[in-house]
Structure 1
Amino acid sequence: MDKNTALDAFAALSQSTRLDVFRLLIKAGETGMSAGAISDALDVRQNTMSTNLSILVRAGLIRSTREGRSIRYFADMDGMRGLLGFLMEDCCGGRPDLCQPVINEVACAC
Structure 2
Amino acid sequence: MNENTAVASLAALSQPMRLRVFRALVGAGPQGMTPGALSATLDVPASTLSFHLKGLLVSGLVSQERDGRHLIYRPELAHMNELLSYLTAHCCQGQACDLVPAAGCTTC
Normalising by the residue count of structure 1, what TM-score does the alignment of the two structures yield?
0.88
The reply on whether 1:4 has 2:4 as its aligned counterpart is yes
Q: Structure 1: any 5+ residue segments left out of the alignment?
A: none
Q: Partners of 2:102 and 2:41 in 1: how far apart?
A: 25
Cα distance, 1:92 vs structure 2: 1.4
In structure 1, the residue matched to 2:70 is 70
RMSD: 1.5
Deviant stretches of 4+, over 6 Å? none
Encode CA deviations 1:67-88: one digit per residue, 9 max, x unaligned: 1121001110011011101101
In structure 1, the residue matched to 2:35 is 35
Cα distance, 1:47 vs structure 2: 1.3
Identity of aligned residues (%): 42
Q: Structure 2: any 5+ residue segments left out of the alignment?
A: none
Q: Partners of 1:40 and 1:61 in 2: how far apart?
A: 21
| Equivalence map 1:89-104=2 (5 Å) | 89-96=89-96, 99=97, 101-102=98-99, 104=100
Q: Structure 1 or 2: larger helix share?
A: 1
Q: Partners of 2:31 and 2:57 in 1: how far apart?
A: 17
Distance 1:109 1:25, change over 3 A: closer
Cα distance, 1:5 vs structure 2: 0.8
**How many residues are paired up?**
106
Cα distance, 1:105 vs structure 2: 4.0
In structure 1, the residue matched to 2:23 is 23
Encode CA deviations 1:10-68: one digit per residue, 9 max, x unaligned: 11111111100111111101211001110111111111111100100111111111011
Secondary structure of the 2:60 match is coil
Q: Give the letter for the 1:7 counterpart.
A: V
Q: Partners of 1:67 and 1:36 in 2: how far apart?
A: 14
